[in-house]
């Protein structure tokens, strides 16, 4: 396989972009990534777009040629990848495979979602499509409701208090305040989280990721292209893997373990030839606070039921054992669902370059980004390494 490098990063601020369209957000991020990489339009051979719900929310599909058209990239290969909230991370995986195979030298991969164009009930209708529309969504349950079932089972099975799980939201906001791309760049207290309104019992509003607009993009290339561009710092994609689980959580033997995360992590660690103890910085998919501790466990950093102790004991802080969600996570950085996986990888790239500002982790050389579609129905784990 060819070695694959991330040489360019571009992001828009996450928020409510009433003045910008879906295509404008993607083009803004894409052009920033191209400028950061130092590539011209003729260098780009393919465009891969991660997106979940443009057909439902904007009435617009065929995003590959749409975005390549507005980027001025006529003639390139282009397509959309959809895998619910994991669309961005999985789009990145396929971009990685396309270069690793030797088929392409340089690819622009991005993610975009514009969720504020429609009313909240319509957003909920879009999100529940991450599960079985015919057999699950027809009951009236929301996506938050599915995660609430997981939350209750986790507390019951491991004897964990909600206050301990809710600390993950407090952690996210602590770092979002330093992130110029964050939707909610301010701190919150545990008392504020626990007194916020219920969304789906026991999940509270300040434990839930927001409705967000945003786009992020990355430029990937092979070693020959990277050397020609004379990059001083190279960020290699050391491992990239995707796995799936039974679509609906109610059909699984254990609601509190995400099989797809464990499977994808196992593959990615093996490919990268590293172990969890080698990871210096990490971004995990915490659309709801309960997912944060669960992912710490399923990725191999804690035993089942003990992920909360990493949070309580400061081990996921900037100077902790495994700095996690230095971006503010989905909760505070924001969660434009199809773009989230790309944002996560972009944040890891900035960390490995030493460009993460006040949230910079010292001596970060290996980073991991985990992106989740549905309630763990599809998961991408991507491991990046600084090589010079």
Provide the CATH topology of domain 127-210+238-386. Answer: Peroxisomal Thiolase; Chain A, domain 1 (3.40.47)
Contact predicate 371/336, CB 8 Å? no
Q: 366-375, pLDDT tens digit by residue?
A: 999 999 999 9
Q: What is the pLDDT of residue 118?
A: 94
Q: Classify residue 316 by its DSSP letter.
A: T
Which pLDDT does position 203 carry in this prediction? 98
**CATH, range 4-119+211-235:** 3.40.47.10
Contacts 24+ apart (CB under 8 A), 303-306: 304/158, 304/256, 304/257, 305/154, 305/157, 305/158, 305/159, 305/160
Contacts of residue 316, defined as CB under 8 A and 6 or more positions apart, other chains included, come to 171, 296, 310, 322, 323, 324, 325
**Model pLDDT, residue 173:** 98
Residue 232 has a pLDDT of 79
Whole-number Cα distances in Å, 22 to 36, 49, 122, 343, 377:
22, 12, 17, 16, 26
User: What are 177-201's pLDDT values in tens digits?
Assistant: 999 999 999 999 999 999 999 999 9
pLDDT tens digits, 55-99: 999 999 999 999 999 999 999 999 999 999 999 999 999 999 999
Is the Cβ–Cβ distance between 170 and 190 less than 8 Å? Answer: yes
Is the pLDDT reported for residue 388 higher than 80? no
Round the average pLDDT of the chain to a whole number and report it: 97
- Beta strand residue intervals within 210-296, DSSP E: 213-222, 235-244, 281-283
d(Cα 388, Cα 374) in Å, to the nearest integer? 36
Enumerate residues 6+ apart whose C-beta is below 8 A from 139: none
- How high is the pLDDT of residue 231? 83
Position 85 scores a pLDDT of 98
How far apart CA 105 and CA 223 sit, in angstroms, is: 9
* Coil, helix or strand at residue 303: coil
Q: How would you class 321 by CB atoms within 10 Å of its CB: exposed for 0-12, middle for 13-18, buried for 19 or more?
A: middle
Residues 6+ apart with CB under 8 A from 135: 248
User: Phi-psi category of 31—alpha, beta or left, where left has phi over 0 and alpha has psi -120 to 50?
Assistant: alpha
DSSP H/E element including 340: helix 340-353
Contact 188, 170 (CB under 8 A): yes
Which structure tokens are listed for 333?
């950085």
d(CA 322, CA 319): 8
Instruction: In whole angstroms, give the CA distance from residue 123 to residue 80.
Output: 20
Is the pLDDT score of 301 beyond 80?
A: yes
Q: Which of 49-58, 135-144, 200-209, 356-365 has the lowest mean pLDDT?
A: 135-144
**Which secondary-structure segment (H or E) carries 77?**
strand 77-81
Over residues 96-105, the mean pLDDT reads 98
pLDDT at position 230, please?
Answer: 86
Rounded distance between C-alpha atoms, residue 351 and residue 234, angstroms: 12
Range list for CATH 3.40.47.10 in the chain: 4-119+211-235, 127-210+238-386
User: Does 248 score more than 80 pLDDT?
Assistant: yes
- Is the pTM higher than 0.85? The answer reads yes
Which helix (H) or strand (E) covers residue 370, if one does?
A: strand 366-373
Catalytic residues: 85, 335
């Amino acid at each position: 396989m060819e070695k694959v490098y991330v040489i360019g990063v571009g992001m828009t601020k996450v928020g409510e972009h009433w003045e910008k369209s879906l295509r404008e957000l993607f083009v803004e991020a894409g052009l920033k990534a191209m400028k950061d990489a130092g590539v011209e339009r003729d260098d780009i051979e393919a465009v891969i777009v991660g997106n979940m719900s443009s057909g439902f929310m904007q009435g617009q599909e065929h995003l590959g040629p749409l975005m390549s058209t507005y980027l001025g990239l006529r003639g390139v290969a282009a397509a959309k990848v959809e895998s619910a909230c994991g669309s961005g991370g999985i789009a990145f995986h396929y971009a990685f495979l396309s270069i690793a195979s030797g088929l392409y030298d340089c690819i622009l991969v991005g993610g975009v979602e514009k969720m504020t164009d429609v009313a909240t009930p319509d957003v909920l209708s879009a999100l529940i499509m991450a599960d079985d529309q015919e057999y699950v969504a027809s009951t009236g349950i929301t996506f938050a409701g599915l995660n609430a079932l997981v939350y209750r089972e986790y507390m019951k099975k491991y004897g964990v208090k909600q206050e301990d799980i809710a600390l993950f939201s407090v952690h996210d906001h602590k770092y979002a305040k330093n992130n110029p791309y964050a939707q909610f760049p301010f701190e919150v207290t545990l008392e504020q989280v626990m007194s916020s309104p219920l969304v789906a019992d026991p999940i509270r509003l300040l434990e839930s990721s927001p409705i967000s607009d945003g786009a992020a993009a990355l430029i990937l290339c092979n070693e020959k292209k990277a050397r020609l561009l004379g990059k001083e710092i190279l960020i290699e994609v050391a491992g990239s893997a995707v796995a799936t689980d039974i679509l609906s959580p109610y059909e699984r033997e254990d609601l509190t373990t995400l099989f797809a995360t464990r499977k994808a992590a196992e593959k990615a660690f093996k490919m990268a030839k590293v172990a969890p103890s080698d990871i210096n910085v990490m971004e995990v998919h915490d659309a709801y606070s309960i997912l944060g501790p669960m992912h710490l466990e399923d990725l191999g950093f804690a035993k089942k039921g003990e992920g909360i102790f990493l949070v309580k004991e400061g081990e996921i802080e900037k100077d902790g054992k495994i700095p996690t969600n230095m971006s503010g996570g989905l909760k505070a950085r924001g969660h434009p669902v199809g773009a989230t996986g790309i944002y996560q990888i972009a944040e890891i790239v900035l960390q490995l370059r030493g460009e993460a500002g006040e949230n910079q982790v010292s001596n970060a050389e290996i980073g991991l980004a985990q992106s989740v579609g549905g309630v763990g129905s599809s998961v991408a784990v991507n491991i990046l390494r600084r090589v010079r």
